[in-house]
Amino acid sequence: MAAEEKSGGLWRRLKAGLARTREQLSTGIGNLLLGAKAIDAEVLDELEMALLSTDVGMETVQSVMEELTSRVKRKELNDTIALHQALRELLRQRLLPFERPFEVDRSRKPFVVFVVGVNGAGKTTTIGKLAGLLKSQGLNVMLAAGDTFRAAAVEQLQAWGTRNEIPVIAQAQGADSASVIFDAVQAATARGADVVIADTAGRLQAKQNLMEELAKIRRVVARMLPDAPHETLLVMDGGVGQNALSQVREFDNAVPLTGLVVTKLDGTAKAGVLFAVTQASGKPIYFVGVGESVDDLEPFTADKFVDALLPALTTA
Ligand SMILES: Nc1nc2c(ncn2[C@@H]2O[C@H](COP(=O)(O)OP(=O)(O)O)[C@@H](O)[C@H]2O)c(=O)[nH]1
Ligand SMILES: [Mg+2]
């Protein structure tokens, strides 16, 4: 019952969060939503433009449009209601391979999660939310303040630690990030904690330094726990457009990424970027962020995402 209420609440948050993208789409595909009408070239053009305007990306849009057009030619789709339904299903299929639940392997103790991404992407906030979620599942969580580049970053993580009532391992600003995270893993081992989530810096003097630092953190932690990190999450701002593609590529080169978290979907009309980024990287999406509070982290599922983006038409 409580779990059901919780998931109902999450669904409402996702739906509200995706409002801007949904509006953007429905403005572009007005003809699809008006009811059963014949499908003509104009309808198909409008649809293509609407998808592109939400950053779905050329590759996905082309393959979806080709499929729809050939079904229209074969008379399998006869009106805009059927077209709408087919579009929903095609979009769902495109995302389905990239949904994967985030699961902590309790036999790996501590289970180590690295969180990486550019400055401002939402790393620290996502860590706060994720820590709250894992704690609610009965896990013993510790945080590592690995973004030692700015004092404010350490304080921000500590605030999340206080809010969630979980320990944060930190050193002074300017400390070596790898040593902070190493300390945290050691402390977690000593205390028998289940999970360590490590924050990292998003900006150093040069991109090269950042990537080298991440690789170093990985090496240092692996000295103690050879199979760590067990997950490396790239947090990215859903509003950055096609820039997201180069972010995945660069971070994946530095520390092989195991999954993505796309944040700030509540603030953008371009949540279609999830299609582009999964298509280009092959990485699963564990969560989407739809706000700044602890409950605004939604496990990603293709079904719910497409439902929120392009709700089924109700036959009234
Ligand atoms: N609206 C919204 N804001 C977010 C979300 N995630 C993070 N933020 C905000 O984005 C800003 C940067 O987040 P932060 O976690 O500090 O990014 P970091 O530099 O990657 O650690 C903060 O003001 C957060 O409150 C989200 O899902 N939705
Ligand atoms: Mg931060």
Per-residue pLDDT of the chain (316 residues; tens, 9 = 90+): 455 566 678 788 899 999 999 999 998 888 788 888 899 999 999 999 999 999 999 999 999 999 999 999 999 999 999 999 999 999 999 999 999 999 999 999 999 999 999 999 999 999 999 999 999 999 999 999 999 988 899 999 999 999 999 999 999 989 999 999 999 999 999 999 999 999 999 986 678 888 999 999 999 999 999 999 999 999 999 999 888 999 999 999 999 999 999 999 999 999 999 999 999 999 999 999 999 999 999 999 999 999 999 999 875 4
CA of 107 to the centre of ligand 1 (A): 32
Return the DSSP state at 167: -
Residue type, 73: K
Question: What is the C-alpha separation between 201 and 299, in angstroms, rounded?
Answer: 24
Q: Which residues surround ligand 2, an ion (CB under 5 A)?
A: 123-124, 153
Closest ligand 1 atom number to CA of residue 238: 27
Residue type, 306: V
Q: Hey, which of 125, 261, 300 would you mutate to test ligand 1's pocket, going by the most ligand atoms within 8 Å of its Cβ?
A: 125
What is the per-residue pLDDT for 314?
A: 74
What is the per-residue pLDDT for 241?
A: 85
Question: Which among 11, 252, 239, 273 has a CA at the least distance from the CA of 122?
Answer: 239
CA of 32 to the centre of ligand 2 (A): 42
CA of 119 to the centre of ligand 2 (A): 7
Return the DSSP state at 314: P
Question: What is the C-alpha separation between 169 and 196, in angstroms, rounded?
Answer: 10
Q: Hey, which of 149, 203, 273, 292 would you mutate to test ligand 1's pocket, going by the most ligand atoms within 8 Å of its Cβ?
A: 292
Both tokens of 104, joined, read 């902590």
What domains are defined for the chain? 2-98 (1.20.120.140), 111-300 (3.40.50.300)
Question: What is the C-alpha separation between 192 and 244, in angstroms, rounded?
Answer: 37
CA of 281 to the centre of ligand 1 (A): 23
What is the per-residue pLDDT for 32?
A: 83
Question: What is the C-alpha separation between 193 and 183, in angstroms, rounded?
Answer: 13
What is the per-residue pLDDT for 315?
A: 57
Counting ligands in written order, which one lies closest to the CA of residue 203? Answer: 1
Cβ neighbors of 220 (< 8 A, separation 6 or more) are: 178, 179, 181, 182
| Inter-CA distances, 313 with 68, 88, 167, 223, 316, Å | 18, 10, 47, 55, 9
Model pTM greater than 0.85? yes
CA of 117 to the centre of ligand 2 (A): 9
Q: Which residues line ligand 1 (CB under 6 A)?
A: 117, 119-125, 156, 202, 235, 263-264, 266-267, 289-292, 296
What is the per-residue pLDDT for 35?
A: 80
What is the per-residue pLDDT for 2?
A: 56
What is the per-residue pLDDT for 1?
A: 45
